[in-house]
Structure 1
Amino acid sequence: MGFPKTAYYRETFTGLSLSNETITGREFDECEFIRCSFVDCKFESCKFLSCRLVECVISAIKPVNCRFREVKFLKSKVIGFDWTKAIVIEDLEFDGCQINYSNFRLLKLPGIKIIDCEAKEVDFIETDLTNGVFKKTDLENSQFFKTNLTGADFSSARNYSIDVRNNILKKTRFSMPEALALLDGLDIIIE
């Protein structure tokens, strides 16, 4: 089916399934995608503005020159998404999602919300995550290096490995006992 029109406003797409397709120059404004599947697709020069994706499967997507503003993913699988190909990302939110193997390297994502998610093996290297929220998120094997975590909230997050010497941590919130992981890599003995 694809998207025959170039612009969509306040439309709802339910059960749409696309695989190995290229979608170019489409704009989605205040649209909702429910139980849709986009696998191994390439989105080129598309805009997603104030959209919601609910219970969707989005895997191995390349969003070349795309714009994402106020996009919310709810209970979706957003696996292997290379966000570095997008040109604008603002107010991104994931709630109850799987975002494993995604790449956010070198991006500026202040205020990102990744809540109650599975975020395994995600690349956050040199990313600005200022005031980001990671509550109840499993960050197993995710990479943080030269990452700005100023004001970020890791309350009840788990399985993170954040080197306090190689990341910016100012007013960053952590909860016990997971916060003890921050001592890994320091040459100290705790008794």
Structure 2
Amino acid sequence: MVENSSFEDRLFEGVRLEGETLAGCTFADCTFRDCAAENCRLLGCTFSGCRFEGCRVTNLRSEGSELRGTDWAASSLVGVNWGELLPSGRFAEPVSSLEDCQLRYNTFTGMSLRRFDFSSCALLRSTFGECDLFESRFFGCRLEGTEFFKCDLRRADFREATGYEVDVLTSRMKGARFSFPEAVNLLHSLEVTVE
């Protein structure tokens, strides 16, 4: 267990953690490059303004921890519940950018991701629930098995995206953009058959 440590403007490269617990640690403006964390727990930790490049995070669990304005590039994130990482007060979001990332089995709940650009990422078998995705971009995304419910999708861009499921009865969708034939999937939640 790593406890009560503070790091600022540090580079962590090639660090591998498996089944570790970090408790009471603070990371500010740090860069993590080619690092991996599998089945790890964060207890009362804070990551603020950090950048993750080529990292792999699998089955992360968090209690009382928060990410603030983190940037992710060319990383793989499996089984992350972003709602567990929301900053207190919710004035900032845990993630500022995702670029060329692979997300699988991720959960986004109650988050404001207005105008967020997911367009270079694959979000597979993930869930967006009660999220503000106004004007967000999913252009060309692979979204196989990814569900959206009770979301604000107004003016969101799903053109050329594939595999998504949207609960049209609970989501706001005015002005959202979709491509044919994927747009037919919008009828799935209505239990309508198109022949």
For the superposition of Structure 1 and Structure 2, which TM-score range results when normalised by the shorter chain? Answer: 0.7 to 0.9
- Paired residues in the alignment total 190
CA RMSD of aligned residues (A): 2.4
Deviations 1:51-91 (A, max 9, x none): 11111110000132222222111111100011222232515
Assess if the C-alpha contact under 8 Å between 1:33 and 1:53 holds in 2: yes
The equivalent residue for 2:62 is 63
Q: Partners of 1:80 and 1:190 in 2: how far apart?
A: 34
Shift of the 45–115 alpha-carbon distance from structure 1 to 2, 3 Å rule, reads farther
Shift of the 93–30 alpha-carbon distance from structure 1 to 2, 3 Å rule, reads same
Q: TM-score, normalised by structure 2?
A: 0.84
The equivalent residue for 1:112 is 116
Runs of 5+ consecutive residues of structure 1 not aligned to the other structure: none
State yes or no: 1:127 paired with 2:112: no
Shift of the 69–113 alpha-carbon distance from structure 1 to 2, 3 Å rule, reads farther
Higher strand share: 2
Shift of the 25–187 alpha-carbon distance from structure 1 to 2, 3 Å rule, reads closer
Q: Partners of 1:6 and 1:42 in 2: how far apart?
A: 15
Q: Partners of 1:10 and 1:156 in 2: how far apart?
A: 39
One-letter code of the match for 2:121? C
- SS of the aligned residue for 1:124 comes to strand
Shift of the 129–65 alpha-carbon distance from structure 1 to 2, 3 Å rule, reads farther
One-letter code of the match for 1:30? D
Q: TM-score, normalised by structure 1?
A: 0.86
Q: Partners of 1:188 and 1:109 in 2: how far apart?
A: 30
State yes or no: 1:40 paired with 2:44: no
User: How many Å apart are 1:156 and its aligned residue?
Assistant: 2.6
Q: Could you tell me the percent identity over the aligned residues? A: 29
Q: Partners of 1:8 and 1:15 in 2: how far apart?
A: 17
The equivalent residue for 2:82 is 83
State yes or no: 1:158 paired with 2:162: yes
